Each structure stands twice: as structure tokens, then as C-alpha cells.
Structure 1
Amino acid sequence: MSESKFEKAVAIIQGLPKDGPVKPSTDDQLYFYKYFKQAKFGDNTTTRPGMLDFSGKAKWDAWASVKGVSKEEAWEKYVAKLLEILEAAGDDASKKHIQEIESA
């Protein structure tokens, strides 16, 4: 897996329209978050958020769960998950995104 495919996948996810056919679930969003953070910053060394920050704790826990994963493996898991979601959507825009990732 190349960094260029990962960067293309990140750009696609960030550009998905809120009302489009591809709607990653909350679990999918946490999956992308943890592997993005692991790929970009490595292991989570930050302090866990407090009790009232539920969203922050979920993100922190997700990122901490992939401790030790290499950036290359994080790229691979991130891209593979996006390809899975795009293939399931099956619309023309998703097919175009798949081609963009594969050619990156």
C-alpha cells in the first residue's frame, strides 16, 4: 500500500457530501479516525479525556486500540475500509473514487 493511495482516500472521505449515497456509520468514522491518527502520528501518547467528554473518549479509545500498528498497515486498513464502503454503494461516483484510489 502506498502513501499516495492513503492520501487519496483521505481526500475522498473529507470530500464526501453529507447527503450523498456514501454515508459511513459512526463505527466506520471511528475506524477511519483511529487509522488516520495512527498513520499520521503513531501511537497515542495523549491523556485520556475526562468523564463528560464522551466523543473525545471514544476517539481516544479507538486510537489507543491500534497501538503498535505501523503507518503502512494503518494506510492499508484505512484504504481497504473505504474501498469496501465504496464498492457496497456501487453508484457512479463511488466507482470513480475507486478508480482514483487504484490509480494513485
Structure 2
Amino acid sequence: MVPSAAVSGVIAAAASTAAAAPKRDPDSAVALLHAAGDDQEALAEAIAEAAFLDTTPGDHRQKLRAARARLRQLNAAAAKADSADRSPHAKAEYTAEDFERLTGQYEKLNWRMVSKPGGATVKPDDFYRLYALHMQATQGDNATERPMWAERGGLDFEGRARWDAWSALRGTDPAKAQLRFVKLFHEFSPAALYKDTRGAVLAAGGQ
């Protein structure tokens, strides 16, 4: 039976579309998997692009499967690292009523020190975030001048870090700053401390 003109047209259009479609090259797909390395996002994209290799028996399919296994390993390692940085003191809800008690404790924590040029040292960013929230909650917007020089000479890295963090909160409602302080005190990463003693502080307050 001879196909009708309409059917012939459909067949011709399908053939034309197939010819125009880019040819998926297994070697190129594998090269993309290799080029992605340990970059999780790039590897995930390369795996998605190479999904057609599932129907390609042999070495190409094995390399796709190996890439998927590698991505699972990378994701698991990332999740473990996130877990290590997560504070064990985090809660579902917080109250600003804890502000007065905790605000007198954050400077007493055993903060790590970060070296700066000239032998100066500063604390981790979370310390200055807590300082800034404390100042915003108790004094409002920063109206002081940014410090420049330290008493012993050289740039005042400590003073400038405190000033910058506080100034960044300009316009923040003091009541909101109190609640944010309490939340951050509970949730900042233990990696910012040489030893995390927040548990004792929080236990003393019945938390």
C-alpha cells in the first residue's frame, strides 16, 4: 500500500527532525564526567547529560555508574561536614527573654583567634555578629566614628571589625536584634571556639 501524501509528509518531517537533532557522543559525555572532577554541581550536570549512556553497553556505561557513585560519596561527605559544623544547641524556637542573661556570656567563650598582618589577631565573624546584635539591641544605630589605629600601632583590626559589624545593622529594630542575638548564640558553629562551653551556660539558665 502506498502511503498517502499526508503520511509521507509526517515521515519526511520526522526524518528531518532526527537528522537535525545533535548526535550524542559517548566519548564526549565521558569526557565531561572526567572534567567535572569533584565539583558536585558540575558532576551532577555532567551525569544528567550522560544519562543516555545507560543504554550503551560496555565501558561508557560503567564510567557513568562510577560517576554516580562518586557523586553519592561527595554528597555524603558534604552532609557529614555540615553536620560537624552544626551547633548542638540549636532549637526550634527562641525567646528574647534570654537576651539579658546570654549577652553577658558571649565574650567569655573560648573564641579561636585569626591572625592578621603585623601580628594582630581577631576573632571569628560570629563573635562580631554577636557583638553587633548586642550593641544594636542596647544602643541602637552606631553613631561612632570608625576606628583606624590600634593603641600599639598598626591598623585596629579588632575595633574596625566590631564597628563594621555594628554599622551593618543600621535600622534594625532593637527588639529584633535581641531575638537574633539569642538565636545566633545557640546556633553559631562550634568551629568558632577552641572549646564549646555554651552547654554549661545554657544549662544554667534551664535551657
TM-score in terms of structure 2 length: 0.38
**In 2 relative to 1, CA 11–54 (structure 1 residues): closer, same or farther, beyond 3 Å?**
closer
Q: Which amino acid aligns with 2:165?
A: A
Tell me the SS of whatever aligns to 2:105: helix
Q: Look up the match of 2:201.
A: 97
8 Å CA contact 1:38, 1:71 repeated in 2: yes
Q: 1:7 to 1:53 in 2, by over 3 A?
A: same
Runs of 5+ in structure 2 lacking a partner?
1-94, 113-122, 150-154, 192-196
1:6 corresponds to = 99
Find the counterpart in structure 2 of residue 67 from structure 1.
Answer: 170
Distance in 2 (CA, whole Å) between partners of 1:84 and 1:41 is 24
Query: Structure 1 CA distance, aligned partners of 2:104 and 2:148?
Result: 31
Which deviates more from structure 2 when the two are superposed, residues 93-102 or residues 24-33?
93-102
Which one has a larger percent strand, Structure 1 or Structure 2? 2
Matched letter for residue 187 of structure 2: E
- Deviation per CA, 1:39-92: give whole Å up to 9, x if none: 111000111112622221221111100001111111111100111148x69xxx
Q: Radius of gyration: which is bigger?
A: 2
C-alpha separation in 1, matches of 2:105 and 2:156:
28
2:145 aligned residue (43, 47, 52): 47
Instruction: Give the whole-Å Cα distance in 2 for the aligned partners of 1:101 and 1:44.
Output: 33
Residues 48 and 85 of structure 1: CA distance in aligned 2, closer, same or farther (over 3 Å): closer
Q: Which has the higher contact order (CA 8 A, sep 6+)?
A: 1
Q: Report sequence identity in percent.
A: 30
Are 2:179 and 1:76 equivalent residues in the alignment? yes
Alignment TM-score, normalising by the size of structure 1: 0.70
Q: Which structure 1 segments of 5+ residues have no match?
A: none
Instruction: Decide which structure has greater helix share.
Output: 1
Structure 2 residue 137 is matched with structure 1 residue 36: no
